[in-house]
Amino acid sequence: MNGEASNSKKDPVFCEICAEDKSANDLFGFQKCSHSYCRDCIKNYVVSKLQENVTSISCPVPDCKGSLEPEHCQSILPSEVFDRWLSALCEALVLESEKFYCPFKDCSALLIDDGEEIVRESECPHCKRVFCAQCKVSWHAGIDCAEYQNLNENEKENEDNLLRNLAHEKKWRRCTNCKYYVEKSDGCSYMKCRCGYAFCYNCGVTAPLDSHTATCPSCNQ
């Protein structure tokens, strides 16, 4: 049975998933087979499969060739479930060797390495933070990839502390918007980060100034 079940009988129909009697109009069928279940069970079945990272959803009956496609059951799925299914299908098409995730745990956006050129310092297009595309970790300033890979696990875990110590030694200022470290070589205290955020290099407060030569009203420098 394809699409919604067309049974016009008024007698209740038994759903084998939830083990409850349902009206015929509440049934929804799998493609390429005759099995059908209630709409709520189909929806929950799709959600459970997506949580298991399964994108090719087949009929729950063993050895059955029935299946579901997003467009086929869009009418019974919440929009966020439908969108998540489409995104998972697109992600599945990307070769494992080409995809990785933003190393910042509060982002973890899917990123693609097209392999056209070797890139080290890269910026996540989602969270705008800088990471090493070769080591797949937050940017390890002051240390090259070979040195980083030779660190033991404890040293790698302390890499953020090493970076903070280096920043303190070099007197770098961290952008309060994207957390990227910047260094002032000369000029006034007005600093505009690569993310477009402007701040005072001396005290770090948001810069309300349009002029690079004006004095910061917060620290008077």
Reported as a pLDDT band with limits 50, 70 and 90, residue 199 is confident
**DSSP string covering 40-91, please?**
HHHHHHHHHHHHTT--SEE-SSTT---EE-TTTTGGGS-HHHHHHHHHHHHH
- pLDDT value of residue 7: 44
pLDDT of residue 76: 92
Over residues 97-144, the pLDDT tens digits come to: 567 788 887 787 878 766 566 778 888 888 888 888 888 888 887 778
pLDDT range class, residue 189, cuts 50, 70, 90: confident
Interatomic CA distance for residues 85 and 89, integer angstroms: 6
Catalytic residue among 64, 127, 188, 203: 188
The first and second tokens of residue 49, run together, are 């499969």
Q: Who wins on pLDDT, 14 or 201?
A: 14
> Over 50: is that where the pLDDT of 6 sits?
no
Inter-CA distances, 161 with 76, 93, 155, 157, 164, Å = 50, 38, 9, 9, 5
Query: Which of residues 37 and 182 earns the better pLDDT score?
Result: 37
Mean pLDDT, residues 68-81 taken together: 91
Specify the pLDDT at position 115: 59
User: Which tens digits make up the pLDDT trace of 46-74?
Assistant: 999 988 888 889 999 999 999 999 999 99
pLDDT at 209: 47
Please indicate whether residue 97 or residue 207 has the higher confidence score (pLDDT).
Answer: 207
Asked if residue 2 has pLDDT above 60, the reply is: no
Question: Mean of the pLDDT values across residues 159-183?
Answer: 70
pLDDT grade for 96, boundaries at 50, 70 and 90: low
Does residue 4 have a pLDDT over 50? no
What does pLDDT average to over the chain? 78
**Residue limits of CATH 3.30.40.10 in the chain:** 13-93
- The angle formed by the CA atoms of residues 85, 87 and 88, to the nearest 5 degrees, is 65
Active site residue 178: no
Topology at the third CATH level for domain 13-93: Herpes Virus-1 (3.30.40)
9-13, 42-46, 156-160, range with the lowest pLDDT: 156-160
Q: What percentage of residues in the chain have a pLDDT greater than 70?
A: 75
